[in-house]
Amino acid sequence: MPYINLRVAGELNREQKQQIVAEFTQTMVRVANKPAEYVIVTIDEAPLAGWGWGGQLLDEAD
Amino acid sequence: MPYINLRVAGELNREQKQQIVAEFTQTMVRVANKPAEYVIVTIDEAPLAGWGWGGQLLDEAD
Amino acid sequence: MPYINLRVAGELNREQKQQIVAEFTQTMVRVANKPAEYVIVTIDEAPLAGWGWGGQLLDEAD
Amino acid sequence: MPYINLRVAGELNREQKQQIVAEFTQTMVRVANKPAEYVIVTIDEAPLAGWGWGGQLLDEAD
Amino acid sequence: MPYINLRVAGELNREQKQQIVAEFTQTMVRVANKPAEYVIVTIDEAPLAGWGWGGQLLDEAD
Amino acid sequence: MPYINLRVAGELNREQKQQIVAEFTQTMVRVANKPAEYVIVTIDEAPLAGWGWGGQLLDEAD
């Protein structure tokens, strides 16, 4: 029943999402003995203009 | 002051959202004695391609 | 596959949690046609001293 | 390493987001002695039709 | 109706929490024209052993 | 800047947490080209009595 939320700045393509879901799930199976069919992963792709870091929006950092 | 976040794969229509908000709020009032005007519900409709389950994206499951 | 997170200020007893999980799940089944066995509910009981509302911590509001 | 998630109903313009990120970060530096470069802020602008309050969607409240 | 969740590694004392809640709320009022009585802040104090950064738990970083 | 939140029912020991943080971070580096020093992982260990699944609390499922 592990629930994993991944939030990234910018976008991921489909192959990246598939690979991330597969690998996170395998980690939970191998390391924490969770059945794969209970592992849920959600991915949020957030715009750079919606992230701040060090007091600035990501898209104004240089 | 209960705060409820619902995340669903795919979309809900307006009537479904109204009904869910109304029912979740009634549950909190009736079961937990919270005033209705303090209950907040947020709904996130996430694309199927952003959910993984059992190691696969939802839209590739068969 | 709906995922519901409920955050409340203070504690709920076991009967309240059972009832909330049962009712939220029934709502998702009835209103959104989701299978009950896919509905996940997590409950976070947060201390009053960890909530602010109107600019004050909940436990100093009068 | 503080992580701050702000969820608002409706939209913020770019200047508002910049100001919010700058001020939240300054608060964490000044009040909690966190280095600015460790403070992360994410902003979610949610549609009014995805928020319920008092048992109603925000866009039907009067 | 802004909802702000702050997650910090380690603990904050009561004065820090009060100050953070007050300042975040003032920022939302001043910058985003939100009424103070609608601003909600929740604070999660997470143990260092529950945070990873750069591939390590925070309490093993040197 | 990926931010990953893992919520599990029950507890993980220290070695499991270290391994999960290391592997999730490696996945983000390898698959999504993110620098390891930007990857943040937070782990929430939630009590079984705070999870519902299929309309029941996890600790009453049989």
- Of the pLDDT bands very low, low, confident and very high (cuts 50, 70, 90), residue C61 is low
- Of the pLDDT bands very low, low, confident and very high (cuts 50, 70, 90), residue A61 is low
Q: Do A52 and D41 touch (CB under 8 A)?
A: yes
Chain C contact set for A3 (CB, 8 A)? 3, 40, 42
- Of the pLDDT bands very low, low, confident and very high (cuts 50, 70, 90), residue E34 is very high
- Of the pLDDT bands very low, low, confident and very high (cuts 50, 70, 90), residue B56 is very high
Say if B53 is an interface residue toward chain A (CB within 8 Å). yes
Domains of chain C are 3-60 (3.30.429.10)
Residues of chain B above pLDDT 90, percent: 85
- Of the pLDDT bands very low, low, confident and very high (cuts 50, 70, 90), residue B61 is low
What residues pair up with C8 in beta bridges, in sequence order? C45
What ranges in chain B are assigned the alpha helix state H? 14-32
Chain B contact set for A20 (CB, 8 A)? 52
Q: Chain D: residue nearest F1 by CA?
A: D40
Residues of chain D above pLDDT 70, percent: 97
Say if B60 is an interface residue toward chain D (CB within 8 Å). no
Say if A42 is an interface residue toward chain C (CB within 8 Å). yes
pLDDT in tens, E16-32: 999 999 999 999 999 99
Flag whether pLDDT at B62 surpasses 70.
no
Mutate to test the interface with A, among F28, F53, F58 (most CBs of A within 10 A): F28
Identify the pLDDT of residue B1: 79
Say if B6 is an interface residue toward chain D (CB within 8 Å). no
Q: Do C3 and A3 touch (CB under 8 A)?
A: yes
Exposed / middle / buried, residue C2 (Cβ in 10 Å: 0-12, 13-18, 19+): buried
pLDDT in tens, B37-51: 999 999 999 998 899
Say if C26 is an interface residue toward chain F (CB within 8 Å). yes
Identify the pLDDT of residue D14: 95
ipTM field: 0.93
Q: Do B42 and D51 touch (CB under 8 A)?
A: yes
Identify the pLDDT of residue F1: 79
Residues of chain D with pLDDT under 50: none
Flag whether pLDDT at A46 surpasses 70.
yes
Residues of chain B above pLDDT 70, percent: 97
In Å, what is the CA distance from F20 to each residue of A29, A43, F15, F28? 11, 18, 9, 12
Walk across the sheet containing F51-53 and list its strands: D56-57, D51-53, B40-46, B3-9, C3-9, C40-46, F51-53, F56-57
Task: Yes or no: say if C18 and F53 are a contact pair by the CB < 8 Å rule.
Answer: no
Q: Measure CB to CB from residue B55 to each of A17, A25, A43 and give the nearest one.
A: A25
Q: What mean pLDDT value characterizes chain A? A: 93
Chain B contact set for C9 (CB, 8 A)? 1-2
Flag whether pLDDT at F62 surpasses 90.
no
Say if A51 is an interface residue toward chain D (CB within 8 Å). yes
Return the closest-CA partner of residue A36 out of A50, A48, A23.
Answer: A23
